[in-house]
Amino acid sequence: MEIKVMHQIMEWNEDVSDAVKAELAAHQVCLINVMGSPGAGKTSMIVELINRLRDRYRIGVIEGDIAGQVDADKIHAMGIPVVQLDTDGACHIEAMSIQHLLKEFSLPDLDVVFVENIGNLVCPAEFNIGESFRIALLSVPEGDDKVVKYPLMFATTDALVLNKYDMQQYFDFDDAKVEADARGVNPNVTVFRVSSRTGSGLEELVEWISETVNEKLGKEKGGV
């Protein structure tokens, strides 16, 4: 019985996810689902991406947290439209929440919306939220065994960002193993080695995002 209930919930979420995709497509907006553990550097990464992409695209952000609005305050201070979603203990964001939150934005005035999902490597991977594509962050201090332990997160992402790469010399982190493990469950994943702190690797990630957004929106390279 529990399996049937879960299956029904997932089907319901997929229906709403499709509705979100249709709404975004109608307004030519690309939704990017950013996932990773607490402390992986999701907010810092989004801040750096905004700084490098805001001249190309009109950007909004949905900040997901179990509680609090510390991260949303950082985005707001940049002059970027942001909505805070507190899940009150839930470990992931669902498509229905995105559907409601999109009403808080003026979609005709946006090209890209980043969603910072709840910090963990399990639940967010299971729920489509109407995203155009996914980016999963894995930071060096977390260890190089996470793909093996949490394969769904990495099997369903479009890009894997090995973040805090400038700290590799201080940790026993085999990035080649991580990439091999990731390609074992997701042969088409694109892997980046990035440091939000130093900026290393960010330009390659920015160009990939730009190309992917343009492809999804059917725009020529170069943005709006």
Residue 124: C-alpha distances to residues 97, 128, 131 (Å) = 13, 8, 12
Residue 5 in this model has a pLDDT that exceeds 80: no
Classify residue 223: in a domain, yes or no.
Answer: no
Determine the average pLDDT of the residues in 157-182. 97
More confident residue, 179 or 222: 179
* Token pair belonging to 26: 């109608």
pLDDT above 50: residue 28? yes
pLDDT band at 68 (very low <50, low <70, confident <90, very high): confident
Beta bridge partners of 85: 64
Average pLDDT in the chain: 90
Has residue 224 been placed in a domain? no
Residue 9 pLDDT greater than 60, yes or no: no
* pLDDT tens-digit series, residues 95-136: 999 999 999 999 999 999 999 999 999 999 999 999 999 999
pLDDT value at position 221?
Answer: 41
**Which amino acid, residue 43?**
T
Q: Please write the tens of the pLDDT for every residue from 199-221.
A: 999 999 999 999 999 999 885 44
Number of domains in the chain: 1
- Output the DSSP codes for 39-80: TS-HHHHHHHHHHHHTTTS-EEEEEEESS--HHHHHHHTTT-
In a domain, 127, yes or no: yes
Tell me the per-residue pLDDT of 73-83, one tens digit each, with 9 for 90 and over.
Answer: 899 999 999 99
pLDDT of residue 157: 98
Q: What's the CATH number where 71 sits?
A: 3.40.50.300
The lowest-confidence range among 3-17, 78-92, 106-120 is 3-17
Separation between Cα atoms, residue 101 and residue 64, nearest integer Å: 11
Name the least confident of 6-15, 53-62, 73-82, 162-171. 6-15
Q: Which residue has the tokens 């805090």?
A: 164
Q: Which own/partner pairs from 182-186 qualify as long-range (CB within 8 Å, at least 24 positions apart)? A: 182/147, 182/154, 184/147, 185/147, 185/151, 185/154, 185/155, 186/154, 186/155, 186/156, 186/157
Q: Is 160 within a domain?
A: yes
What is residue 58's predicted lDDT score, i.e. its pLDDT? 98
Region 17-36: mean pLDDT is 96
pLDDT at 12: 66
Which domain, by its residues, includes 203? Answer: 2-216
Residue 222 lies in a domain: no
Q: Report the C-alpha gap between 25 and 92 in whole angstroms.
A: 23
Give domain status of residue 221, yes or no.
Answer: no
CA 67 centroid distance within chain: 19
Q: Is residue 141 part of a domain?
A: yes
